[in-house]
């Protein structure tokens, strides 16, 4: 007998792998396995991560050594008093280096911002993958329910047509009334309209699944026997686990990263109006004129020294930048408090809804049993001509609706359980 049980650790909540929808549906499992390579949604997040990695390298390079080469030439035409006309060509070259020495933590802050933005992009990618997996599970289970509805609706249309034919024959021999025939025709048309509407909805949901997953292989939506057993025999846990004291929310973690980024931006703003020291060095060759006209001297020069840059006044720009950073930090901290409160309320609501679904699963299973008994008795009564085909058709529809109700309730429970795992966080 199957049962959904819950695993709670200090890290959060985790649905047992054997009780996830993909454990029963192979196409769903394949689409989830290939989601990172197929989904355009995930590829967009990959681009953001690549950009964040590049920006981190840019920030790290600002602390490093810069080496460059300058090569240039001059064509000089001179007309000196009391002397002839001179035309010379000078070739000059230079190799230089520069390395920041002390910038009041600004360069370290930029490097840290690069790391935090990379972490933020990675968290965003991981979060989108997890949320997309949940979306695909939900859409796929909707497709399974719609496909089963189509199967039942097709059978109902077939039975409705048989009823019209049967009632028509009885009208001819005086065993039924024209009103009963019209009622049977109306029932047939109603079932055909319902079948058409379900088909359209199935097509739309299939397109949504393909768009999200990038999985273009035709889906097998038939319900395996193992999943039917799961739906019919599943006994929900009587006591749902109580939420752990600390909430591990990816959204809140991202807000904490944003707070850290604004703190680093404040450090950069503080350093704007402070002296900064760089190590400079160079080797260059040049030419100078000698006392003798028309002669020049090649020189080799080595320079090593410290360079100090001090911005004295920037019209309050750096102060305004720091204030903006502190304001954004306060905003993110306020959002953390708000999101934490909202998340706790949402999780409590989820628990109540899960408990309600557990009760509904038990009722739906009992309803199937009652509907099955009704169908069997109705079949017997119809064979003895004690009831009309339309009355028997009602018992068929009742049994179908009971099965649908059980299937939908179990699917909703599995989807909500997956959402609960995402909200609380798993190891």
* pLDDT tens per residue across span 281-308: 888 777 666 655 556 677 788 888 888 8
pLDDT at 141: 95
Nearest C-alpha neighbor of 374 from the set 389, 360, 404, 394: 394
pLDDT of residue 87: 58
pLDDT, position 107: 87
* Phi, psi at 14, each rounded to 5°: -145, 130
Radius of gyration over every alpha carbon of the chain, rounded to an integer in angstroms: 38
**Run of H or E including 208:** helix 178-213
pLDDT at 11: 42
**Which pLDDT belongs to residue 335?**
92
Residues of the chain below pLDDT 70: 1-13, 74-92, 236-248, 287-296, 425-427
CA distances in angstroms from 11 to 246, 251, 317, 326, listed in the order given: 9, 16, 44, 31
7-68+106-278+333-424 adopts what CATH topology? Outer membrane efflux proteins (OEP) (1.20.1600)
């Amino acid at each position: 007998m199957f049962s959904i049980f819950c695993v709670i650790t200090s890290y959060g909540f985790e649905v047992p792998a054997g009780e996830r929808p993909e454990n029963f549906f192979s196409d769903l499992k394949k689409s989830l396995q290939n989601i990172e390579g197929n989904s355009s949604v995930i590829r967009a997040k990959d681009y953001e991560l690549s950009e964040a990695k590049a920006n981190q390298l840019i920030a790290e390079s600002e602390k490093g050594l810069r080496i460059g080469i300058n090569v240039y030439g001059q064509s000089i035409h001179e007309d000196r008093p009391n002397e002839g006309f001179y035309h010379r060509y000078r070739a000059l070259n230079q190799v230089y280096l520069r390395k920041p020495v002390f910038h009041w933590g600004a360069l370290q802050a930029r490097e840290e911002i690069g790391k935090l933005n990379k972490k933020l992009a990675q968290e965003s990618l991981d979060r989108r993958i997890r949320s997309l997996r949940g979306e695909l599970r939900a859409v796929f289970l909707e497709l399974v329910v719609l496909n089963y509805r189509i199967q039942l609706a097709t059978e109902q249309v077939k039975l409705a047509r048989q009823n019209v034919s049967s009632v028509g024959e009885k009208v001819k021999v005086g065993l039924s009334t024209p009103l009963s025939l019209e009622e049977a025709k109306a029932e047939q048309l109603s079932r055909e309209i319902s079948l058409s509407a379900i088909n359209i909805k199935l097509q739309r949901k299939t397109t949504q699944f393909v768009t999200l997953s990038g999985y273009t292989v035709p889906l097998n939506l038939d319900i395996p026997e193992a999943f039917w057993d799961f739906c019919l025999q599943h006994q929900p846990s009587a006591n749902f686990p109580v939420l752990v004291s600390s909430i591990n929310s990816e959204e809140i973690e991202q807000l904490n990263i944003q707070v850290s980024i604004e703190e680093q931006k404040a450090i950069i703003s503080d350093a704007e109006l402070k002296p900064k020291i760089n190590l400079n060095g160079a080797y260059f060759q040049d030419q100078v004129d000698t006392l003798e006209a028309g002669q020049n001297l090649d020189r080799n020069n080595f320079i090593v020294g410290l360079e100090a840059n001090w911005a004295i006044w920037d019209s309050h720009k750096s102060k305004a930048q720091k204030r903006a950073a502190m304001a954004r930090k306060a905003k993110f901290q306020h959002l953390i408090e708000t999101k934490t409160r909202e998340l706790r309320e949402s999780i409590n609501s989820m628990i109540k809804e899960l408990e309600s679904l557990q009760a509904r699963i038990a009722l739906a299973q009992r309803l199937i049993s009652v509907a099955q008994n009704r169908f069997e008795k109705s079949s017997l009564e119809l064979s003895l001509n004690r009831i009309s085909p339309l009355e028997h058709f009602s018992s068929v529809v009742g049994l179908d609706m009971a099965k649908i109700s059980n299937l939908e309730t179990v699917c909703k429970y599995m989807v909500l359980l997956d959402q609960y795992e995402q909200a609380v966080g798993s190891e």
